[in-house]
Chain A
Amino acid sequence: MTDPLVADLRRVLGNAAVRTDAIELALYGRDASLISGQAGVVCFPSNAEELVGVVRACAAHGRPFVPRGSGTGLAGGATPAGDVPPVVIVTTKMNRILEVDEEQRVAWVEPGVLNLDLSREVAHLGLHFAPDPSSQQSCSIGGNVANNSGGPHCLLYGVTNAHILAIEVVLPDGSVAMLGGIDPEPDGLDLRGAFVGSEGTMGIATRIAVRLTPLPPSVETLLADFATMHEAAAAVTGVIAGGIVPAALEMMDRNIAEAVEAFVHGGFPVDAAALLLVEVDGLAGGAAEQARRVEKVLRENGARSVQIAGSDEQRALWWKGRKSAFGAIARIAPNYYLHDCVVPRSRLVEVLEQVSEIAAGQELVLGNVFHAGDGNLHPLIIFDKRVPGTLDRVHEAGRQIIEVCVAAGGTLSGEHGIGLEKRDHMGLVFSAADLEAQLWLRDAFDPSGLCNPEKVLPRGGSRCGDVASLPAGAWV
């Protein structure tokens, strides 16, 4: 017998956009994390009206639902969880750029628009969308909003929240609200700011107004290599302490450099302990001055060589290498587990040494490729999950890495979010009162607890946490 909810969903979307066969339910039972769950139904709305109709149907049936963009999330934020398999609402078909306002430097987009597609679309106007996660070829702007995703250039330009002006959302009860506005000081609380980074627990974006940023007239990109990680980290601190905020300041260790060089042939030194990729931009005079100062700091801190990109092609190749790192490590082993913690820049060396010891202790191969200028670490554990016992050691290493980062004054996530993966670690950085205050916000948006249940807040701090369970095999 057909589930009455499925019948209602088909009335909203038609048969083709409502999927219930086992293969598709399994496909949409996970995102890019290691955590898998069980989807109840998968829906593909094509426009805001259909999306509102889907949410209203779920609300009417009291059925939990999970928003999902491109599925590139790494914390299980789009993994369906709970005793009742939720409806997975996929926004990839809502991928239209609705309006580009050159004068106000604003674009209205649907949530499924891919990050890089928007920048490509407005490049001829001398504009771009500044947040640039490494997955920007495949991640959606709705997903960026949900996770407040970062990227290399957030060091200078700010995280996604700084680039979102307004969001039209369908709230979990099916009502529609416009949060924020094109004007700078809309009346009321900053609900826009609260929604960004809420990981799909407070509703689903139907339209998003993003700020477009002028392309810099001049860009200088430097690649430096160091004999020790210590020297590279000291150079990072030296650049910032020297009063320079580069557009990006990225670090790669030897394992990553080897994998990337074999993949893109970008001229990355492969015998160094660490590489720094530094980009400065602005008007020509200032960019050149910054590059000069950065080079001086790099050399003073022991850089063996400093290359400056001599062409746009060279720069593009270096960035291709940096942004392809996660794919490139497939040459080493078939699986990876990517961490995302933030530590004070001054603690980078010490934390990296501890992370290295943790990996060695668990007999795991480790790579590091991360946003050093932000202190946003991405220890990458590379492994083959077919080897018995490996996954347990990976999880244990992950737990230990979180603990050393928090002990160093850091926090759980810089850009990937909490999702299912880290929610039970929230107590490491927040008190019960802190978490309850976060619940006050979530409950105001979603009193029924239907929207992406089980995510972000740990059990006991989540309205529905006591009636649902994690999917089998989930690690938290």
Chain B
Amino acid sequence: MGLTSTTSVLERFASEVGDYGPVCCVGGRTQWDVGGPVSSGTREVTAPAGVVAHEPAEMILRVRAGTRLEDLSAVVGEGGQRVALEGAADATVGGVISVGRSGVRRLGWGPLRDAVLEVTAVSSRGELIRTGAPLVKNVTGFDLCRLLTGSLGTLAFVAEVVLRCLPLPEVERWYVAEGADPFEVYRKLYRPLSILWDGRRTWVGLAGFEVDVEEQARGTLGEMFSLVDGPPSLPGPGRRSLAPASLRSLPSVVADAGAWLAEVGVGVVHCDSPAGDRLRCEDGPSQSVVELHRRIKENFDPAGRLNPGRQVITGAFS
């Protein structure tokens, strides 16, 4: 199977989006609240689904945006690989990329955006536009892949993507300890998969060769940590983005504000909504950044028809 897509499927999707009237693209609705609700009366469309090709020797996967993560993982896993997309089983590839949020393995896997090599999307004119290439290294032209990742479908609707795959590790193991200093753990470990902290307990994910995982578990983590099945469930739905070092003062900031779980070394904090509201530490984007957002939206979607109502930045899109 080649990596050339069956464009007729994508052309049908483009035709469905069309070039007139407000329209929103719906995936698994697992992160539907991010960026606010779509304006009422907006017509809904759904991206095509299906894995087009997985080429393990090229470490790439071509998949249509409507494909569920669960289905994706099964296909890639059979080839002994994985992709850096995490989310609910019902979440779709296009939805996860459009929201742009990485999962709890970001410390090891890197951000979601770095896994997106090529995007074919439907523009506000109802035309297919492609950016990137099905290659792991490419600087040909401007990087619309990263622009579209996390754009909440406000600039174009993702129709099909090529993702970078990486080999499944020999082992992935999770450990937990009560009272361990997660920042000291971060300092000592070499390229851990994840370090999660709720103020009391520290979870550590290690992945790679068994010999390395064993050595780090016994030598660096020590007897304080015990093996568990996997990462803890996330409190939610709050989510805040903080400078990694600022997590040190988190317990005092959120002492009375409910459950939270911080990604040490990354800076994402998962929390109950009330706690999340108290975790803002930045002033918001500057006027020049807001103006850039306004101009980009104006150029990509002058009539404001794509996912109307959803906001990637407060006040930028009217």
Query: Residues of A at under 8 Å CB distance from B?
Result: 101, 103-104, 147-150, 154-155, 158-159, 161-162, 171, 175-179, 181-191, 193-194, 196-198, 214, 216-217, 237, 240-241, 243-245, 282-286, 289-290, 342-346, 371, 374-376, 409-418, 422, 426, 429-431, 433-438, 440-445, 447, 456-457
Contact = CB atoms under 8 A, between A and B. Distances in A.
B57 interface: yes
13 contacts: A103-B183, A158-B114, A183-B244, A183-B267, A184-B111, A184-B268, A193-B113, A240-B58, A240-B59, A283-B215, A342-B135, A431-B130, A457-B141
Nearest to A191: B292
A163 B183 CA distance: 21
Contacts of A345: 57-58
B191 A374 contact: no
A183 B284 CA distance: 13
Interface stretch (B17-25, B221-229, B250-258, B295-303): B295-303
Of listed A187, A240, A416, A417, residue having the most chain B CB within 10 A: A187
B88 interface: no
A197 B142 contact: yes
B77 interface: no
B245 A184 contact: no
A150 B129 contact: no
Interface stretch (B43-51, B68-76, B196-204, B310-318): B310-318
Contact of A443 (B135, B136, B166, B299): B299
Interface residues of B, number: 83
A417 B139 contact: yes
Given A103-B245, A194-B142, A285-B209, A344 B135 contact: yes
A183 B212 contact: no
B66 interface: no
Contacts of A154: 137
A237 B156 CA distance: 35
B93 interface: no
Contacts of A344: 58, 134-135
Q: Which 10 A-B pairs have the closest CB atoms?
A: A193-B146, A285-B211, A286-B209, A188-B313, A185-B241, A440-B299, A444-B295, A243-B167, A177-B288, A241-B57
Interface of B: 3, 55-59, 80, 100-102, 106, 110-111, 113-114, 123, 125, 127-131, 133-147, 149-151, 155-156, 166-168, 183, 187, 190-191, 208-209, 211-212, 215-216, 239, 241-245, 263, 266-268, 282, 284-286, 288-289, 291-293, 295-296, 298-300, 312-314, 316
Given A184-B268, A194-B142, A374 B137 contact: yes
Given A189-B293, A444-B298, 18 more contacts: A148-B143, A149-B139, A181-B243, A182-B267, A188-B316, A189-B151, A190-B147, A197-B143, A216-B190, A286-B211, A344-B134, A375-B135, A410-B135, A411-B135, A430-B130, A438-B141, A441-B144, A441-B299
A188 B312 CA distance: 5
A161 B316 CA distance: 25
Contacts, number: 252
Nearest to B299: A440
Nearest to A428: B140
A290 B167 CA distance: 13
A284 B110 CA distance: 23
A188 B267 CA distance: 17
A293 B316 CA distance: 52
B285 A182 contact: no
